[in-house]
Amino acid sequence: MRIQYFPLLVLLQIFVACSGEQGPTDAEKLGYFKETYESNREAFRQLCARMKDQRAEASTLNVPSRSDKDLTIDLCYFPPATPGGKLVIITSGIHGIEAFASSAIQRFFMDRLLGKLNRADLGILLVHGVNPFGFRHERRVTENNVDLNRNFDETPALFQTKNEGYSKINSLLNPTEQANPGNLSNRFFPLRAIYNIVMHSMAALRQAALQGQYEYPKGIYFGGSDFEPQKEILSPRFLQVASSYRAIMLIDIHTGYGARGKLHFFPNAIKDAATRKRIETVYAGYQVDYGDTKDFYTTTGDFSEYLGKLLKGKEYIPMVFEFGTLDSQTTSGSIKSIHNMILENQGYHYGFDSDESKAEVRRRFREHFYPSSSVWRTQVLTTSEEVFPLILERFSSL
Ligand SMILES: [Zn+2]
């Protein structure tokens, strides 16, 4: 029988060679990855319900919607043996489609890593699928086309923010005809992008496009004209859980930006010296890419920054975990990346010229934020296995 496997093995090797991605794969780790919003949510709920030995407490928050009565954010809270210490909050799916990988990471963490931690005074709160609409419909944004990570702040003055750089490149970022990835304008997109890079510089373009904007409701990186319901739903819960702790660490999980397969530690610009010092202690030995450094960008309406304001008076350590997929730190990766964002958004608002175009654009978008590669998926959990216990232990002993 063994010999019959040989051609299969050769085919598999050819496939791996063609896909250009090599590295270990692990079937057990791959089992954590699920392909729909419902299956991820169900797996999260079931796992939380099974973890009574870790004192797990499950809860569900409904997210109001015009079109869907079954959008929820699910929470699993693990209180410590003795209260008063430290709390880690791990969030997934602020950008809906990024929740596929982030949900796998959360469940892998609960299932395989949490039981090994010294949790004498360490509480853990997992928040699953902060943007369930985007999760279900495989978009980054909410039902209102809002990028939730540009939508959090204490006051609505946020929505008066002007992004003048964005207005200058609005026509490049937001075409208004039906989407067709194969037409001339899209085939020449890299050239048009390079022309803009020459005219404005890469850093200026990246900052303008990605920081967030509040003037073009159908545009990419739209931060809203009001708060999305998530702020009102989650804030009281965070305040309530955090009230019995003196120090809080946030790990907000994302995918899509940075070198493929690499975990980037990517906080927004951190101005407070004490917070920066705590980050440097907990993440010692790792490269931390602050938003105000080269190749990165700062944003407005950032969730991690808002949580710090909400929990003022507590020691707070914000961090965004960003698992890279498209090498967006390179010029060609960054052009591909923004092109995927543009086409998906354009098709959503103005339709597609054909079913083939729709399928191609949606396939590219999904690969961008949730690669199907077994190597990438395995790597994400292997990295999580190394990083989470170490970071949590350092936070615990601060
Ligand atoms: Zn993201």
Distance of CA 304 from the midpoint of ligand 1 (Å): 12
Distance of CA 243 from the midpoint of ligand 1 (Å): 28
Q: Is the pTM of this model over 0.85?
A: yes
String of DSSP letters for 194-210: HHHHHHH-HHHHHHHHH
Distance of CA 95 from the midpoint of ligand 1 (Å): 5
Lowest mean per-residue pLDDT among 5-14, 62-71, 306-315: 5-14
What gap in Å lies between CA 129 and CA 123, rounded to an integer? 20
Structure tokens given for 165: 């750089």
Pairing of strands 315-317, 122-128: unpaired
Distance of CA 97 from the midpoint of ligand 1 (Å): 9
Q: What mean pLDDT do residues 181-189 have?
A: 95
Distance of CA 36 from the midpoint of ligand 1 (Å): 18
Q: What mean pLDDT do residues 62-89 have?
A: 96
Distance of CA 131 from the midpoint of ligand 1 (Å): 11
Distance of CA 323 from the midpoint of ligand 1 (Å): 9
Would the pLDDT of 89 be above 80?
yes
Distance of CA 254 from the midpoint of ligand 1 (Å): 4
The confidence band for 297, taking pLDDT boundaries of 50, 70 and 90, is confident
Per-residue pLDDT, 4: 47
Distance of CA 244 from the midpoint of ligand 1 (Å): 29
Distance of CA 45 from the midpoint of ligand 1 (Å): 23
Distance of CA 98 from the midpoint of ligand 1 (Å): 6
Per-residue pLDDT, 20: 65
Distance of CA 58 from the midpoint of ligand 1 (Å): 25
Q: What mean pLDDT do residues 258-275 have?
A: 90
CB 84 within 8 A of CB 245: yes
List pLDDT tens digits, range 209-245.
Answer: 889 999 999 999 999 999 999 999 999 999 999 999 9
Distance of CA 252 from the midpoint of ligand 1 (Å): 9
The confidence band for 12, taking pLDDT boundaries of 50, 70 and 90, is very low
**Rounded to whole angstroms, what are the CA distances from 244 to 70, 85, 122, 200, 323?**
31, 8, 11, 49, 32
List pLDDT tens digits, range 92-102.
Answer: 999 999 999 99
**Domains defined along the chain, listed by start:** 39-163+211-325+371-396 (3.40.630.10)
Distance of CA 197 from the midpoint of ligand 1 (Å): 23
Neighbouring CB atoms inside 10 A of 242's CB total 21
CB 80 within 8 A of CB 123: yes
Distance of CA 174 from the midpoint of ligand 1 (Å): 20
Find, among 155, 190, 201, 199, the residue nearest to 301 by Cα. Answer: 155
Distance of CA 319 from the midpoint of ligand 1 (Å): 12
What integer best gives the mean pLDDT of the chain? Answer: 93
What gap in Å lies between CA 340 and CA 170, rounded to an integer? 16
Distance of CA 13 from the midpoint of ligand 1 (Å): 32
The confidence band for 374, taking pLDDT boundaries of 50, 70 and 90, is very high
Q: What mean pLDDT do residues 49-65 have?
A: 97
Would the pLDDT of 184 be above 50?
yes
Distance of CA 296 from the midpoint of ligand 1 (Å): 13
The confidence band for 359, taking pLDDT boundaries of 50, 70 and 90, is very high
Structure tokens given for 376: 């990438």
Would the pLDDT of 331 be above 70?
yes
Q: Is the sign of the CA dihedral 123, 266, 381, 335 positive or negative?
A: positive
Distance of CA 270 from the midpoint of ligand 1 (Å): 18
Distance of CA 5 from the midpoint of ligand 1 (Å): 41
List pLDDT tens digits, range 27-54.
Answer: 999 999 999 999 999 999 999 999 999 9
Distance of CA 4 from the midpoint of ligand 1 (Å): 44
Distance of CA 266 from the midpoint of ligand 1 (Å): 11
What gap in Å lies between CA 30 and CA 11, rounded to an integer? 20
Q: What mean pLDDT do residues 367-385 have?
A: 98
Distance of CA 3 from the midpoint of ligand 1 (Å): 46
Would the pLDDT of 335 be above 50?
yes
Distance of CA 337 from the midpoint of ligand 1 (Å): 12
The confidence band for 61, taking pLDDT boundaries of 50, 70 and 90, is very high
Distance of CA 159 from the midpoint of ligand 1 (Å): 20
What gap in Å lies between CA 303 and CA 78, rounded to an integer? 22
Bridge partners of 62, per DSSP, are 72
Per-residue pLDDT, 337: 95
The confidence band for 85, taking pLDDT boundaries of 50, 70 and 90, is very high
